[in-house]
Amino acid sequence: MQNSTIKLSSILTNFQEKIDSIASDLEKKLESGEFNCVEQELKSLTDNLFNDLLESILVSALDNPSMEKKAKQMGKTLNLSVRKTEVSILLCTGKRIKIPSYYGSRKTKKKKRGPNGSGRHLLLDYWGFIGKASPHCYSLLSMLCVLCPSFEVAQEVLKHQGVKLDYKTIRRIVLKVGERCFAHRVGISLETGENLSGKRVIISTDGGRTRTRKVKKPCKTHQDSQTDLTTSSKRDGFETPWKEPKLLVIQVLDELGNLSKEDFPIYDSLIGNADDLFQLLEEYLLKLGISSVKQVLFIGDGAKWIWKRTQSLFERLGLDTDQYVEAIDYYHAAQHLHKIVKTLPQKNVPIAEQNTIYRELKNLL
């Protein structure tokens, strides 16, 4: 602890000396109207101070026997063998620093690392790192990549703020954050304490159509004899196959049968098969305490993939048969009703009369 304090004091002393050495120069720049230069210079100095302080604190903490004990306890819980090594981590300033790390790996005779890797840096997991990026770092990257239209634009915004990262690093970290969030998507989507106990609920699912982009195999390349460069005759193409996104909606009704204004609807979707959608729906309903619901109305179109899964879903959720009702949604029911009416022969039932019959039957839905 004493060594750590001395190191921190040394870092702060060096910082003070740097500030003292440039103070007069910064004042001259302010006098000449170069406020932006002053801001950038001070920002760079404080970022470096942040990096040095955090690195010193981390190294000191990781040399503490209590952190070693913590890492070994985690390894024992996960059935991993623990060894001390070194790891490079990414901070929110864009700086990479190397720190000691307790690495846990599977107890195996194989010397070669598996394709996906079974080991982990235990204390980085404990501190909430993702992809060896600090929590504040990947939070910043993720936020910008959501707000910006592309990874390239996010990269430029970060560069403007003094955080210089390459495109691949930004994309890799953000995609890892996305994977982690998907594993907890239900918990993230719901408010604390949100439940459906004693309420009347509408559940609906549907499928759609959208195009996706699939890159074709790279074009053949050839060697240019004059420039000795490898070039391609044309761009790599891509295909746009159709996919069926599947959507689920969970809504609450008030005492008058209208959509509740106090309970916000829950929307979620995925591009996957029907089993994936119903598994996601089941996770939501379990988290919301669907077993104590007053009544459930499950609506959908006539797709067979929906109706052959509803009964088993409600059985797994512990609902009694008098707690739920299944029905075709109004718009699809009206659409099928219109087709039925149009099958009436026009000789006996003119079009005008068909329309009248359709309106009357539709009002009965």
Distance CA 104, CA 74 (A): 9
User: How confident is the model over 209-234, as a mean pLDDT?
Assistant: 66
Is the pLDDT confidence value at 4 over 80? Answer: no
Question: What is the structure's pLDDT at 113?
Answer: 52
Instruction: Note the CATH number of domain 202-212+238-322.
Output: 3.30.420
251 pLDDT above the threshold of 60: yes
Tens of pLDDT, residues 283-320: 999 999 999 999 999 999 888 899 999 999 999 999 99
Give CA–CA dist 52/49, Å, rounded. Answer: 5
What's the CA gap between 91 and 173, in Å, rounded?
12
Confidence of residue 51 (pLDDT cuts 50, 70, 90): very high
Classify the C-alpha dihedral 190-193-194-195 as positive or negative: positive
Q: Residue 226: is its pLDDT beyond 60?
A: no
Model confidence band, residue 242 (pLDDT cutoffs 50, 70, 90):
confident
The confidence score (pLDDT) of residue 315 equals 93
Q: What is the reported pLDDT for 114?
A: 47
**Could you read off the pLDDT of 138-175 as tens digits, one per residue?**
999 999 999 999 999 999 999 999 999 999 999 999 99
Task: Give the span between the Cα atoms of 198 and 267, in whole angstroms.
Answer: 21
User: How many CA atoms, within 13 angstroms, populate the side-chain half-sphere of residue 240?
Assistant: 3
pLDDT at 112: 53
Q: How far apart are CA 341 and CA 352, in angstroms?
A: 11
Q: Does 334 score more than 60 pLDDT? A: yes
Strand partners, 259: 253
Query: Binning pLDDT at 50, 70 and 90, where does residue 272 land?
Result: confident
pLDDT at 144: 96
Whether 336 shows a pLDDT value over 90: the answer reads no
Range 143-170 burial, b when 16+ CB lie within 10 A, else e: ebbeeeeebeebbeebeeeebebeeebb
Least confident range from 30-34, 64-68, 208-212: namely: 208-212
Residues of 292-328 as b/e, b for ≥16 C-beta within 10 angstroms? ebeebebbbbeeebbeebbeebbeebebeeebbeeeb
Per-residue confidence band for 46, with pLDDT thresholds at 50, 70 and 90: very high
Which pLDDT band, with edges at 50, 70 and 90, does 220 fall under?
Answer: low
Where exactly are the structural domains of the chain?
1-63, 84-108+117-183, 202-212+238-322, 333-363
pLDDT digits (tens, 9 = 90+) for 342-359: 998 888 888 899 898 989
What residue ranges in the chain does DSSP mark as E strands? Answer: 80-90, 96-106, 120-121, 200-207, 210-211, 214-215, 221-223, 230-232, 238-239, 242-243, 245-253, 266-271, 295-300, 324-328
pLDDT value of residue 215: 79
Contact 293, 323 (CB under 8 A): yes
What pLDDT digit, counting tens, does each position of 103-142 carry? 999 876 555 554 455 689 999 999 999 999 999 999 999 9
Tell me what pLDDT residue 110 has. Answer: 57
d(CA 303, CA 273): 13
Confidence of residue 230 (pLDDT cuts 50, 70, 90): low
Predicted pLDDT at 145: 96
pLDDT over 70 (residue 277): yes
